[in-house]
Structure 1
């Protein structure tokens, strides 16, 4: 024991936790010498801050209205696709049990991204020591009988947040889900000239892309080169600035491994995510670069999301293709994500386990 420190449960060094109420929502902060991660338990256990402290750079995008205050919503008119766009605070949220397209499956209707991101989650502090903090968040979904656990671990001195997740079906027969993660990146981390690194894969643009797209519709090619609407060759690995005024969604399949990295060469800073490609074989690339003229964007957001998922965009479509995750009664499905902030690399060749970026 440190002879100068009789107790460590009220500390402000090493790994530590803070339980706070922000705009009426219960939140938990996991922090160490390098990272500060804020999780909103009362809204989907969303990660709304992922701050790299040595450079004071926030990596995640925040919407202009941010986290809405807790309480009843007084919407002008209910949206047929669900309340997601009105309540999108930004950050990193769970796509469960549906993706970014409204869907009806097994008699239940789901709006954008399902329901996990709207629900209040319970949490319990598992470990609170200078060497390591561990918090488990949990929830039962409403329209599908599924129990979800998400355990976040941050070790002293580490630049990697470890996320262990578990789904358990409480239905009496086999059911299907669309499951994925949706980290959304923005300024000051995301800016013109940022680079996206991926293992070999194929990129596909749908036949009906968003309004303001810069990529030619209905095409498929090896990453990172696709055809632009103007006939040019677009290198998707290079992020344009806000003057692009574009809005694109690209589906990435046949990844040889489960990882990606984003590097900001101006700041010498990068973010890497590693996951299980057997469970999440698809990656969605969403770029909203001051495009999207009307509701809900109005040409304002500058953001990019890279979304590992079992399939996209809808649960009904994934189930019809046999690409949804099938949950047997009482049989858990578990997985791990590792999110790492790194410095000093202009290019990334691979992202290995335990935050090994090279």
Structure 2
């Protein structure tokens, strides 16, 4: 069962499918990308995990783990596009009107994932713990994939470590992979609206900025997706295909990362 949490000012919906945060609404306005085919899972699957991911992609905010990049075979185990965690059905528990817990046990690697999503005033706080349940060290990659409705920020920019990344105009697309030191990003739009992201850059030391502003006329977007994603990640986007990632967990060890999305102006007044 999917879970909706929040207040009359800010609310979110979390899905069992992929543990995805499918919606964050501030003042009744949706902040996250929602594709026209969101939730349309009928029909035959497409060959390969890249095509199938995009066939089913609804937008929202996914956790990409244990390999957040392209599909690969690592240690004889096939890893799907964007990582197993985003493909699995999670167990959800609503712990209060403003918080929920999501859990999943991966099978391609022996990792247990425990994730909480909380609404605190004008913030969405996501705290994730990953624990190695196996008898040997596990390597992994980690990325958070919040995709925003780019139209809300049209004409604005993304600020990362004081540097500005322009939001491209409608009809264009762009991708950047940048190292980060502070773990702070601000997405500035019109009318004074800004949305902040804050995370632990010691673990997630990169930020991917993906923009698809109705730029692709054919599959998978058909000029229908207007997306802006700021994605904290643990490794460069060109990380070798024969490795999961740059992080390691010893047997029984766990690592926790918190990421906070803050509405600074505009939508919750």
Given the two structures, how large is their TM-score scaled by the length of structure 2? 0.91
Distance (Å, rounded) in 2 between the aligned partners of 1:162 and 1:144: 26
The one-character-per-residue Cα deviations of 1:130-171 (angstroms, maximum 9, x if unpaired) are: xxx33211000121111000012223xx00111111001112
- For structure 1, the residue ranges without an aligned partner over 5 or more in a row are 1-25, 201-222, 225-236, 345-358
Given that 2:177 and 2:237 are in contact with CA atoms closer than 8 Å, whether structure 1 keeps it comes out as no
Alignment partner of 1:64 is 2:36: yes
Distance (Å, rounded) in 1 between the aligned partners of 2:218 and 2:40: 21
2:234 corresponds in structure 1 to 310
2:22 corresponds in structure 1 to 48
Q: CA deviation at 1:333?
A: 0.6
Distance (Å, rounded) in 2 between the aligned partners of 1:183 and 1:296: 18
- Secondary structure at the aligned position of 1:64 is classed as coil
Q: CA deviation at 1:246?
A: 2.5
The one-character-per-residue Cα deviations of 1:284-319 (angstroms, maximum 9, x if unpaired) are: 011112222322122332211110010143775484
Given that 2:2 and 2:14 are in contact with CA atoms closer than 8 Å, whether structure 1 keeps it comes out as yes
- Secondary structure at the aligned position of 2:92 is classed as strand
Given that 2:215 and 2:223 are in contact with CA atoms closer than 8 Å, whether structure 1 keeps it comes out as yes
Closer, same or farther: CA 263–77 of 1 in aligned 2, 3 Å: closer
Alignment of 1:175-214 (within 5 A): 175-191=138-154, 193-200=155-162
Q: CA deviation at 1:79?
A: 2.3
Distance (Å, rounded) in 1 between the aligned partners of 2:132 and 2:213: 38
- Secondary structure at the aligned position of 1:85 is classed as helix
- State the superposition RMSD in angstroms: 2.1
Given that 2:175 and 2:210 are in contact with CA atoms closer than 8 Å, whether structure 1 keeps it comes out as yes
Q: CA deviation at 1:99?
A: 1.9
Alignment of 1:21-36 (within 5 A): 26-36=1-11
1:246 corresponds in structure 2 to 172
Q: CA deviation at 1:76?
A: 5.6
Distance (Å, rounded) in 1 between the aligned partners of 2:237 and 2:125: 26
Alignment partner of 1:170 is 2:142: no
- Secondary structure at the aligned position of 2:181 is classed as coil
Distance (Å, rounded) in 1 between the aligned partners of 2:51 and 2:236: 18
- The counterpart of 1:343, out of the listed 246, 265, 268, is 265
Distance (Å, rounded) in 2 between the aligned partners of 1:28 and 1:141: 21
- Secondary structure at the aligned position of 2:54 is classed as helix
Distance (Å, rounded) in 2 between the aligned partners of 1:332 and 1:288: 35
- Secondary structure at the aligned position of 1:116 is classed as helix
- Secondary structure at the aligned position of 1:262 is classed as strand
Distance (Å, rounded) in 2 between the aligned partners of 1:80 and 1:28: 27
- The counterpart of 2:200, out of the listed 276, 299, 309, is 276
The one-character-per-residue Cα deviations of 1:237-263 (angstroms, maximum 9, x if unpaired) are: 332331xx323211101x230010112
- For structure 2, the residue ranges without an aligned partner over 5 or more in a row are none
Distance (Å, rounded) in 2 between the aligned partners of 1:265 and 1:250: 22
Alignment partner of 1:333 is 2:261: no
